[in-house]
Structure 1
Amino acid sequence: MGNFEKEQGLKRELKTGQLTMMAMGCAIGTGLFLGSGLAIGTAGPGVLISYAIGAFIVLLLMGCLAEMTVAHPTSGAFGTIAEKYISPGAGFLVRYSYWIANVLAVGVEVSAIAVYMNFWFPSVPGIVWILFFAAVLIYVNCTNVHTFATFEYWFSMIKVSAIVLFILLGAYILTGGSESSASGSENFASSDQFMPFGWWGIWVAVFISLFSFLGTEQIAVTAGEAKEPDIAVPKALKATVFRLSSFYVLTMGIMLMIVPWQSAGVDKSPFVKVMEILNIPGASGIMNFIILTAALSAMNSQLYASTRMMYSLSLGKHAPAILGKLSKKGIPTWALVISTLGIFVAAGVNALLPDSSYAFMMGISMFGSIFTWLMIFISHLFFRKQWEKNGGRKLPVKMIGFPYLTILGAVLLLSLIVSTWFTPFKMMLQFGIPWLLFLLVAYLIWKKKNASHHQSNKNNHFH
């Protein structure tokens, strides 16, 4: 069992509401506010179907994840589960891939933050903001888990209220509250078709929609610090998926009716465009502030997740022992330090490729997350068989339609990954495949080195 017992050092302080808000916080990052423009440009109004398919895949994923997390609430989450039920190698690949995904996702958010701050301070170079906000968030992550969760709760609260407000304002414009005549369902039809780019466009946009849902799997990571994982985790997972899918689909629908889809780009958030139509004074400033909060909160949770994964790797003896040390407040400080790498990578990429840094980092961090999702489905196939065979306790949540729905989720994800080769997101595979091979080689070298110590360690490992 090894890791499951070892990861009990973290303090269990997080409540259901905090878990839900953290997952929402992580998922409602720049994906919704900035990525939505990209998705609309790829699929046209048919993007609604894309988001629905995306939400369906996430729903399947959460079903599998909830069952496994309740069985094993540790901060190594799906990494520890892949190690136990598939193989140590699988656990190694999942944890390191998820770690790099989050480390670089922090970089993605931070490059976005530089863009948002530019709105108010056009003359200040982006790097200044990157370093300033990095310092603040590292500080928040160094204090205890409770402070971190409170911070995240309010961050998420601002975003969620903003989206609800946006939906209400949009409904007001659509029901004729505003003078603007160009809105309404004719925006769907004005392009003469709902799917200007056919099914292919819709399929590619499913991939972008998944980027908006990334982060929901964090509930599994936070479960290692949850008060009553049996109750909190399933509840938080359900709430997150339903809230997110309704938020996304409603927001998208309203946005498409108000802003002609042809003009939704990545230069300005579709949200700001809607507020400009309403002539709200300082609208774009208000929106910019909300989007900034979104990016900061996503960055905050990603830093948390990568720190906990590195901590778990160290306990599994896959990373230097110092990274598994906890501070007096129960925080893996060294794991946190090494997880801030993404911020500096981002700062570098931002300086070298100021125009394409967002897309580049997004492609890279995307691979680690999607690979982790795929492994969650695969782990579930192994997990359920062994759990029943070993007569594990009856779990409060159970994924329905096993094994068919688990396999369906894996197949859908795999086909999306393969399709990206034929899209502008090709860099995800160009970076991801070499990364996996590199990890595989690293694992084999590590295993060989440890084979000699193995006999002596084996006896301690099971105690």
Structure 2
Amino acid sequence: MKEHPTELRRDLKTRQLTMIAMGCAIGTGLFLGSGLAISLAGPSVLVSYAIGAFIVLLLMGCLAEMTVAHPTSGSFGTIAEKYIGPYAGFLVRYSYWVANVLAIGVEVSAIAIYMKYWFPDVPGYIWIFVFAAALIYINATTVNTFATFEYWFSVIKISAILMFMILGAYLVFGSSSPEIGPQNFTNDGGFMPFGFSGLWIAVFISLFSFLGTELIAVTAGEAKDPDVAVPKALKATVFRLSTFYVITIALMLMIVPWQQAGGVDESPFVKVMEMLSIPGAAGIMNFIVLTAALSAMNSQLYASTRMMYSLSKATYAPRMFSRLNAKGVPLFALAVSTLGIFLAAVISSQSSVSYPFMMGISMFGAIFTWFMIFISHLYFRKAWERDGGRKLPVRMMGYPYLTALGALLLFALVITTWFTDFQIVLKFGIPWLIFLTIAYVFWKRNHPPQADQTNRSQSL
């Protein structure tokens, strides 16, 4: 009988790491969420996405340095545990796990919206289960199978974005129509129709669009050469995402008035194609944004599975979640990470606002994880230099000031949500942290310090 492996395999290459992160980040955040951001900020959404890209750039600088030092599947959860303490590692791992589980629900809710374009009378939950079953099967095979699917998913949507940019540039700079051009940035209420408050809260939406870039750190536990692959993939991902997001949204706003591009009833990309009356283009674009949602959902299912595996290896979750099948996949961790799919199906069958709701509750875990990455970096750099750690191939610039700035901006954004329609972020997040704190107290009582330390060291 073939023995099952006990550790994840290091099979992922740099190009696969980059495409996995791109696949996770270029999902409904750009193709559907951008419509919500536009409705909140108007043309100033461009500044919102630029600010979001700046925060992510700081985050990736911190994460690249720490991941090269500790290339494990637990990634930032493992690092928080080692440099801040077990309680921090517990909170980060579970918060990131639930963020991805709920983000899977966001993507699959968007899939139900996209499918209504072709099948308006079919209930959304039908499509949720059909596509979920296919992606669960992909994730249940080898990591290389997952990476291959993700690679080609990403190639399709990146190619589509590039074609949209070329078509958009042709229309903007080659058209003499008075309805197309930079004047749309200032028409209908000016560049900031909702003032700074609209611009600021749209930054929060933009961060959901960038959610997934940190996945490269999670995949480091299965990367062939983390010292080279991780920093290279992180830099490429941030640069490409920033360019894609800002340019595509700028072109979109120059082609159609921002009021028509806003909303979440349909992808703003599909709306643009419908308004341009290009035969068949709207259907093709809807297929592409559907592929984007599937790609992001695929990556998030992978991320949540690996984080649950890490929790189990550190004894924070039942041991069965770290068991691998003959192909090296933690099937039990995969199974429990599909909860967001069922939640999305229930909400989709009961409500038409499942996308904003699911996005709101998933964002707390993501923003909290990012915040803790910045805090972990403050502890990490100090301890690394004090203990004489090896010279790392990548270092965060501007330490500790830029690290602290990133943490401050994230904290301010989360507090701001209380005064907006996204109160659900804190209404879900604060009870979630309280629940995790209680769970940690019970876990600690049932784990003797000596055994606890031994198991944690094995996971680091």
TM-score by length of 1: 0.95
Which of these residues, 364, 385, 389, is aligned with residue 386 of structure 2?
389
The residue aligned with 1:96 is: 94
Q: Where in structure 1 are there 5+ consecutive unaligned residues?
A: 1-6
> 1:123 Cα deviation (Å)?
2.2
Question: Which deviates the most, 225-234 or 187-196?
Answer: 187-196
The residue aligned with 1:346 is: 344
CA distance in 2, matches of 1:456, 1:344: 36
**Does structure 2 conserve the Cα–Cα contact (< 8 Å) formed by 1:259 and 1:270?**
no
> 1:455 Cα deviation (Å)?
3.6
Q: Are 1:405 and 2:402 counterparts? A: yes
Distance change (3 Å), C-alpha of 1:172 and 1:456: closer
CA distance in 2, matches of 1:401, 1:156: 33
1:87-115 CA-to-partner distances (Å, cap 9, x unmatched) read 10000000001001101111111111111
Which of these residues, 133, 149, 152, is aligned with residue 150 of structure 2?
152
Which of these residues, 371, 381, 388, is aligned with residue 374 of structure 1?
371
The residue aligned with 1:21 is: 19
The residue aligned with 2:192 is: 195
CA distance in 1, matches of 2:265, 2:280: 18
The residue aligned with 1:262 is: 259
- What amino acid maps onto 2:311 in structure 1? L
CA distance in 2, matches of 1:272, 1:303: 26
The residue aligned with 2:63 is: 65
The residue aligned with 2:223 is: 226
CA distance in 2, matches of 1:83, 1:461: 9
> 1:445 Cα deviation (Å)?
1.0
- What amino acid maps onto 2:183 in structure 1? E
**Does structure 1 conserve the Cα–Cα contact (< 8 Å) formed by 2:52 and 2:206?**
yes
**Does structure 1 conserve the Cα–Cα contact (< 8 Å) formed by 2:315 and 2:452?**
no
CA distance in 2, matches of 1:459, 1:146: 31
The residue aligned with 1:425 is: 422
Q: Where in structure 2 are there 5+ consecutive unaligned residues?
A: none
CA-atom RMSD in angstroms: 1.4
CA distance in 1, matches of 2:24, 2:434: 28
**Does structure 1 conserve the Cα–Cα contact (< 8 Å) formed by 2:273 and 2:281?**
yes
Identity of aligned residues (%): 71
CA distance in 2, matches of 1:307, 1:8: 16
- The aligned runs of 1:213-252 (5 Å cut-off) are 213-252=210-249
- The aligned runs of 1:168-207 (5 Å cut-off) are 168-177=166-175, 180-207=177-204
> 1:8 Cα deviation (Å)?
8.0
CA distance in 2, matches of 1:151, 1:123: 30
Q: Are 1:131 and 2:129 counterparts? A: yes
**Does structure 1 conserve the Cα–Cα contact (< 8 Å) formed by 2:114 and 2:266?**
no
CA distance in 2, matches of 1:435, 1:13: 35
- What amino acid maps onto 1:33 in structure 2? F
CA distance in 2, matches of 1:345, 1:157: 30
CA distance in 1, matches of 2:133, 2:123: 17
- The aligned runs of 1:271-286 (5 Å cut-off) are 271-286=269-284
**Does structure 2 conserve the Cα–Cα contact (< 8 Å) formed by 1:66 and 1:234?**
yes
CA distance in 2, matches of 1:407, 1:148: 36
CA distance in 2, matches of 1:220, 1:326: 21
1:205-229 CA-to-partner distances (Å, cap 9, x unmatched) read 1111111001100000001101100
**Does structure 2 conserve the Cα–Cα contact (< 8 Å) formed by 1:145 and 1:331?**
yes
CA distance in 1, matches of 2:266, 2:335: 33
Structure 1 SS opposite 2:224:
coil
- The aligned runs of 1:10-49 (5 Å cut-off) are 10-49=8-47
TM-score by length of 2: 0.96
**Does structure 2 conserve the Cα–Cα contact (< 8 Å) formed by 1:186 and 1:257?**
yes
CA distance in 2, matches of 1:276, 1:176: 19
The residue aligned with 2:305 is: 307
- What amino acid maps onto 1:431 in structure 2? F
- How many matched pairs? 453
**Does structure 1 conserve the Cα–Cα contact (< 8 Å) formed by 2:314 and 2:456?**
no
> 1:125 Cα deviation (Å)?
1.4
- What amino acid maps onto 1:271 in structure 2? F
**Does structure 2 conserve the Cα–Cα contact (< 8 Å) formed by 1:8 and 1:74?**
no
Distance change (3 Å), C-alpha of 1:394 and 1:220: same
1:143-185 CA-to-partner distances (Å, cap 9, x unmatched) read 10001000000000111011111111111111234x7541111
Which of these residues, 435, 440, 445, is aligned with residue 437 of structure 2?
440
- What amino acid maps onto 1:376 in structure 2? I
Distance change (3 Å), C-alpha of 1:456 and 1:76: closer
Distance change (3 Å), C-alpha of 1:460 and 1:79: closer
> 1:278 Cα deviation (Å)?
2.8
CA distance in 1, matches of 2:53, 2:382: 26
